[in-house]
Amino acid sequence: MTDWFAGDLAERYDSETADMPVEPVLDFLEPLATNGALELAIGTGRIAVPLAGRGVRVAGIDLSPDMVAQLRKKTAEIPVTIGDMSTTRVAGTFSLVYVVFNAINNLTSQDGQAATFENAAAHLEPGGCLVVEVGVPNTRPLEVFDLSDTHVGVDEFDLATQRNVSHHFTLIDGRWERLSIPFRSASPAELDLMARLAGLTLRERSTDWDRSPFTAESRKHISVWETT
């Protein structure tokens, strides 16, 4: 896998995601983390650090040393293993494994995504849960998902291959810089099948962290699968 979050992007990540909700995510995850939580693609610890602050035992896996270096500026208490979240193992088991903010789509093949479900299940204790936050695939070839004075985001989607490329045009120090990151979009039904193959069963699905109902109009979903 390519580390798309190295260098300047890692340094800017927290400031560029500062407006994203945290407390509703923690309120959702904390009751599921009675015996610890493992975050896949832990990154800068945007969720993991405050979750640990609530007294939860948290560990993480991440591909990007630069992102983890940003986490280390906040705490040295959370153990993080550098590696591919589809194959990297850590010691012990957890009552919760979670993947937020579309990180499951960073695996750009079906095999990689399915392996991530299997790896997550291998870290779960009996009765444990996997939580994934991910967008619903867009069916339009091009879509502007963000438009501001300092950032323009455009998604390019190929329905035949399920390949999605997010193009980010960001105004930095007076000039526009472009970053294009590839993803693989997967429908809720496909993710359910990956979970089933990994020995997990869907427990609930909502459109956001407040557990609002998932509908045909939802742009993303929060899905919870549990060990069987």
Tens of pLDDT along 113-130?
Answer: 999 999 999 999 999 999
Q: How far apart are CA 191 and CA 193, in angstroms?
A: 5
Beta strands in 4-141 (DSSP E): 37-40, 58-62, 80-82, 94-99, 124-135
- Give the per-residue pLDDT at 196: 98
Q: In the structure, what pLDDT confidence band is assigned to residue 140 with cuts at 50, 70 and 90?
A: confident
151-165 as b/e, with b when 16 or more CB fall inside 10 Å? ebebbbbeeeebebe
DSSP state of 106: G
Q: Are 190 and 171 spatial neighbours (Cβ–Cβ below 8 Å)?
A: no
Q: What proportions of the chain, in percent to the nearest 5, are helix, strand and coil?
A: 25, 35, 40
Q: In the structure, what pLDDT confidence band is assigned to residue 1 with cuts at 50, 70 and 90?
A: confident
Give the three-class secondary structure for 68: helix
Higher pLDDT, 111 or 171: 111
- Give the per-residue pLDDT at 214: 98
- Out of 31-45, 142-156, 159-173, give the one with best mean pLDDT: 31-45
- Give the per-residue pLDDT at 159: 85
Mean of pLDDT values over 193-206: 98
- CB within 8 Å of 144: residues ≥ 6 apart: 152, 153, 154
Q: What is the mean pLDDT of the chain?
A: 95
In this structure, what are the phi and psi dihedrals at residue 124, rounded to the nearest 5 degrees? -95, 140
Q: In the structure, what pLDDT confidence band is assigned to residue 80 with cuts at 50, 70 and 90?
A: very high
Share of the chain above pLDDT 70, in %: 100
Give residue 29's Cα distance to chain centre. Answer: 13
Q: Are 119 and 88 spatial neighbours (Cβ–Cβ below 8 Å)?
A: yes
pTM, entire model: 0.93
- Give the per-residue pLDDT at 91: 96
- Give the per-residue pLDDT at 94: 98
